[in-house]
Each structure stands twice: as structure tokens, then as C-alpha cells.
Structure 1
Amino acid sequence: MSEIVGLVGMSHSPFATLLPRGGPDAPGGRFLADAGRVAAAVARLAPDALVVVGPDHFHANFYDAMPPFVLGVEQVAAFGDFDSRRGALPVAAQLAWSIRDGLADAFDVSLSYALAVDHGIVQSYEMVRGRAELPLVPFVVNTAAPPLPGMARCVELGRAMGAAIRRSPFPGRVLVVASGGLSHWLPSNDPRDPMPAERRASLIHGRRDVHAFSAAREPRVRAMAGNPDAPVNAAWDAWFLKQLAAGDPEPVVGLGDDGLSERAGSGGHEIRTWLIGLAAVGRPLVWTSYEPVPEWITGMGIGTTFEVA
């Protein structure tokens, strides 16, 4: 039987690894230092596998057929967007199938035998695992635009995922990692919203040539870096972390999609990954770190259900 040893919730941003690192007082310096502390704490926990819950940024899923949830069960490859890791990742297949079986009766989860994951999964995996090449189970949540899974549904799924992990015959210690958020404002990815026809077509048909789509999109995202006035709602981010430290996600769920968008921006819908992770582990956060980094267009937060030295 598997044992869940904890949760790490962590913001991601392409600029966390894309931009040159400065000193501890540079934008993102506190986040990167604390991410290193978390990696050291994870090494002491000695997990045998990671279940990484995160979004996709139009590198695997497009609006020709957009699933709310995708589970990787066999081959997983890092896409390599924004200079992140590229190539095959080790997969805990037995654990992945246990999660599938545990969710099957109540949740319609798409399966992938050959899943591409981008920085939404890879960055937090890389930061948390430290030097250990740990196998992972990637669980992708659509947080871009409808069909957004309801936040209450995400909590229910997380509880079922936690039960499935604990029942798994996978003989090891499992760490759940939630990658996403916190507050950030991005251009709409909803094909119903006004946007250039070429961009709309790429959101729907980008699967035909994913690398061409990515090559066209990355310069637009890179151009957003370094703006000290980019919107970040640090007060809301702190409130969100406080709710998870209290073990009470219900006020977050109660905001609904419109309330969440208003307070945390379109990118704030990535906090669904944290809701799933918290429910899976079933314990509140006991350690948090936070730094608003408008230069990275995101509030950069970390939360764990275990102490960090």
C-alpha cells in the first residue's frame, strides 16, 4: 500500500527559470531560495514517487477536443517550452493506473499513453525533486477556459485521488505536488472572446503543428516579462494561503468562477490544482512562503503540509 507523505503547492512562471537569476533581493529571489529549502525538506521526506497536478498551456490540449482532466499512464515527455527541461520523464505507471481505477466510477478522466507536459507540470517537478530522478504521475487540469471543472468538483476529485493513492499496491511513499497560480492576469484563451482570427485558430487547431504554435506564442509571453507594474493581487494570494492553512477551501470554492477571475485574474484559475492536492492529502498547510513578483506576472507562493527548515 502507498503512503501519502505530504503536499507541496507551488506557483510556476516561465520567467522563474527563463530570466537570469539575481541575488536574494532581486525579483523572485525569496521564492527561489524558499523553493530550495522545500527541495531539501522533500529530500528528508524521501518520497518514492510524485503525483504532480498542474495545467497545460496549449502544448498537449487544444480546443479541437479540450478535456477537463488528463492522466498520463505510460510515456510522458517534457515539451521544453521556455527553455525548460525537454525529453522523457520517468513514470510511476502502477501508481498512475491505481489513480485511474480509483477515479473511474465517479470522474471522467481522459487517459494518455503518450503525454506531453509543459512548464505547468515540469517546473514544479524539477524544483521539488531536487537531485533525485523520481518517477511521477502527471495529472493535467484544464484551467485555461471552459470546460473549467468546477472548484467543488476539484475538491471531490482530490479526495477520491487521495483514497486511490492510499489503496494503491505501489510500494512506496508518495508526495503530491500542486503546480499553479497564484494571482495573475493573462489574455483570454476562450475562443468565444474577441481575439485575432489567427490566434483563435491556433487555440483550436494548434495540435496540427504544436511546435509551430509554441514558437509563435512564446515571443508574446516573453514580452510580458520584467514589468514591475504587472497586476498581482498579493492580498488575495495571502487570503488564499490562509484558507488552505486553515484546511478550509470552502470560502475559495464559494467565490465561483467569476469571483475568482475578479480577484485572482484569468490565470488564478490554476489554484484548482492546489484544491485537488489539499483534498488528496487531507491535511492543512503548515508552512507557507510568498513573494509578489509582477516582473514574472505572478504571485509566487509555496505551501507545504510539513515543516520546512
Structure 2
Amino acid sequence: MLVLGEVLTSLLPTSAALPADVGVRLLALTTGAQVLRSDRPMPCVVSPERLTGVDCQIPIGSQRTARTIGTVTTRALLVGGHVLQSSARTVAVRSTQNRRLPWSYYLARPSTVEIVGRYRERDTAEAFLAATPASPLLNLGAIAGHTAERVRASSMIDSRVPFRSGRTTLRWIAVLADDAARPDSVTFTVEGEGRRTVRVHAHGDALADVVALCEDLALHDWLLTTLTGMVARAPLSGPRASAALDRIRPAFDHLLHLWMPGARLETGIRRFWEQLEQHAGFGRQWTTTVQRIRDHLALSTLRELGRLTGPASS
């Protein structure tokens, strides 16, 4: 099974973290459908899933495309009342009819697109990760972005952010197979400014678990990217160190408590986080960055105390 997905992660434009009950109302994007809410180990609200029909081209190799028809599933997540994620995914399968069928056929197979013609699964996966989506190509980022914009347009949001941050895009593919000879693996790659790719090869894992894994990766990559970006832009040493620390302080107030890699995942899928820690070192970089900020905050506090108390009298 080949699964294609994309996750957009950004700061919700609100000055304070939204309470969970407000988050539930915010993500009630489908009338009558249930919004999921959890308060442990961190507040998280998940919107109902929505289907979007597509009839477009999909890259299947170098300079090659094929027609694909079906539906894409999207959902929005609000983590900690501050971080908004919009996630789109679909399962790519081979068409047995090699022609377009009535929409009722595709609606009966939700979150699945059928590729018309011959293609190789591996080539299609790599071509999807490398493509720059533009009409008429399948664009999961645009579909996810539409969901995010619906949330951002809500009157429940005051459109004031506590600090500046960017958006990250994580595009992923997952190959789920019963081939026990192939070991499970996950590969995370930083492709450029705000763009990441993930490749997952898993044996016997449920699709929902893999989707949750990729959303969790996207969340923690955004947290790390945002924090390290703030540190890089702030001169923590020199005469303006105090002002720089003031600009970083909101991250401590709003983001640090959200760092819990794998905490919301099922036990079996957490093994992929362990692989990533060995190679990408998410946790090590986060811990080092946080400790660096804390050290500068401590030094800044000591300097301020010294200035207020003045030199000790003999």
C-alpha cells in the first residue's frame, strides 16, 4: 500500500492559547460530525475528517505523469491551543478499469485515488516527494491549506500572535507491506526553507498510526525550527543581549511545554521516533537549544541583580 500525505504546521494567529472548549468549536468544520479532544499528555483537538474529490495528474517518474481520480482526506489539529496543523492524505492504487468511473464509485472508497495506466510504486513515491505541485498535478498541500485557511478565518481568533514564526510543510510517503524481509525504516530530510520530506516503510502498521506519526514529526520539527530560528535571529551575546532574550521569552511561555515526541502515539509506532533520534537528533538539538537560552537568561538575571544592588560595600 502506497500512502501519500502532506502536513502544514504554523502558529495559530491568536495572542493567547485557546481553551480546549473554544478549540472544539473552532474545529467543528463539518456540521453534525464529532470533534475529538484530548487533554493528556497535552491539549489536542482534532477536527472531523473531510473528503475532497480530485481528478488530476500525478507524477509517476522523471517527466512522466498519469491521470489519477479519487478522494483526499483532510483534517485540522490544534495542539496546545497555539499550533495549527492541517493534514491531507490519500492511498494510491492502480485502476482496474483504466477509465474514469461515476463519482459514486470513488466516494465508496474514501481516501483513495486510482492511477490510470502503468506505473511503478517506488518511482511514483519519489516523484511525488520531489514534485513542485502546479496545475494539473495533485497538490495535497493546497488541499490542506484550504482547511487551514477556513480555521484562520474564524471570528474566534483575534489575529494577534505572541511572536513571529513561519510555516513548515512536511510531505510524506508511506509504504505499508506484509514483507517481513524488509526492515521498518523512517527517513527525515530537510529539503530547504520550511520544506521537509519523510519516507516510512512499515510492516503491518495501521494507516491511522502512520498518519499520526507524520503529524507528530511535523509538529516537533516545527517547534524545533521555530525555536532555533528565534535563537539564530537574536544576538544572545553582546550589549543587546537583554533585548534579544525578551524576544525569545514568549517561546518559553507558549512552546516549551509542547515538546513531547511520540507522547500521543500508540506504543508500537513510537519505534520510528527512536530511529530518528539516532540519526536526526531532534531531542539533542532541542535540549541543547533550550539549555543555551536558559543559561543566557540566568546570566542576564544575575547581571540585572548586580546592577540593581550595586557594588558590594567593604
Q: TM-score, normalised by structure 1?
A: 0.24
Question: Which protein is richer in helix relative to its size?
Answer: 1
Question: Which protein is richer in strand relative to its size?
Answer: 2
Greater relative CO, 1 or 2 (CA 8 Å, sep 6+): 1
Larger Rg: 2
